[in-house]
Amino acid sequence: MSARSMRAAAALGALLGAGAARAAPLQGERDLSSYTFEQYHREFPERRWSALAAGWTAQVGELRQGIFEANLAAMRAHNADPNKTWFAAPNEFTDWTNDEFRAARTSRPSGGGGGEAAVGAAAAAPGAALPAGLPDSVDWRSKGVVTPVKNQGGCGSCWAFSAVETLESFLAIGEGATEAPVLSEQQVVSCMANPEGCGGSGGCAGATQGQAFNYTSGVGLSLESDYPYRGSGGCSASKTKPYAKNDGFVKLKVNDYTDLMTAVATKGPIAISLAAGSFGWQLYGGGVFGGRGKLSGCGYDQDHGVQLVGYGTDSGKDYWLVRNSWGKGWGEQGYIRIMRYGDGKEPCGTDETPQDGEACRGDTKPRTYCGLCGILGSSTYPTGARKVHSSASTGILV
């Protein structure tokens, strides 16, 4: 965050700070009125350890504290809005600039676009009518087919987490299991080629969920216990012990609200991509993301792969239920609820840099995505998910 940005965030906090006492807290919201940098380090000691490992100095400490205080002022200002539908809360990104956050947790390079303001047509007031025959709410976690929240760390492997988590769910559904197996993101990150440069250059530099499903349909996928996650690293054949496989994948219609609602209600959790590099995503603590406020926009620059595990309504606010891969310390125990507007009511905007999302090398034509944060833009799920085993003598999947 530049000095100018920090001053602006602090000024915003001062401007709205007087309203903090009048803003009713949302469920789970914390009082940050006296929260300090020292408390932050006690709550998130890994931030201090990381800084020490990188060479902590008084100058570094002053810089980090300045970023923290500017971000804290913006969080207090947002939380002071009596009309907010979500709240900001401290997490491991609270002393990061937004450039650092985007570079480490999305596929968008630091300094890229996708600021806080939404782009495109303004959305109609929420009030989403459900497609005929669908339940009022869906949460696949209650079925036991969603594995615990994971953390991709500093590797740009969100695409692999999105795909592998969804394969885990479809394997459990297909097998009639009450608990999903934990499969290996690392195998996909390290071993899957990306010759056409789709969604990035591969590995920690990005790819797409569809490519991952194609890879697992041919090679199969190991358990996490056999090929544990490390982030970066070369392919290790000795760790590849296929446990699951799929036949292929289905790509849903782009920007089709009913198609996505029907798929997540009747098929299972869906691998989706959206825009997650905004300041609001960085500081999200809980509630239904969207609505009013300077932090509530996210743009349409598709830069992050996640898993859609359901939908519902909270106090009249309709939402999509999304699982992230930034650990349980972010959001609602690793989840975010994103405002849902309804068929024909979803906002739309332009992704000017589609290679951060699903476009391949050389494809720079802007794309239109709909739904808050472009949530309707790119959605896939695997077909024919099943357990397999490999012959010890031949290595051939049978």
Which residues are known catalytic residues? 158, 304, 324
Q: Which tokens sit at 169?
A: 């769910």
| Torsion angle of C-alpha atoms 286, 291, 292, 294, degrees rounded to 10 | 70
The alpha carbon of residue 79 and the mean position of all alpha carbons in its chain are separated, in whole angstroms, by: 22
The backbone torsions φ and ψ at residue 236, rounded to the nearest 5 degrees and listed phi first, read -120, 105
The DSSP symbol for 44 reads -
The backbone torsions φ and ψ at residue 45, rounded to the nearest 5 degrees and listed phi first, read -60, -25
Handedness of CA 134, 139, 140, 143 (dihedral sign): negative
Count helices and strands (H / E) in the chain: 10, 14
Is the CB of residue 317 less than 8 Å from the CB of residue 301? no
Gap between the Cα atoms of 100 and 137, Å rounded: 36
Handedness of CA 297, 302, 304, 307 (dihedral sign): positive
Gap between the Cα atoms of 96 and 247, Å rounded: 41
* Strand partners of residue 86: 287
C-alpha distance from residue 357 to each of 3, 142, 151, 294, 339 (Å): 30, 30, 20, 25, 21
Q: Which tokens sit at 178?
A: 């009450």
Render 276-310 in DSSP notation, one character per residue.
Answer: --SHHHHHEEEEEE-SSSTT----S---EEEEEEE
The backbone torsions φ and ψ at residue 14, rounded to the nearest 5 degrees and listed phi first, read -65, -35
Put the strands of the sheet holding 386-387 in their side by side order.
Answer: 221-222, 242-245, 386-387
Gap between the Cα atoms of 267 and 278, Å rounded: 30
Gap between the Cα atoms of 120 and 124, Å rounded: 12
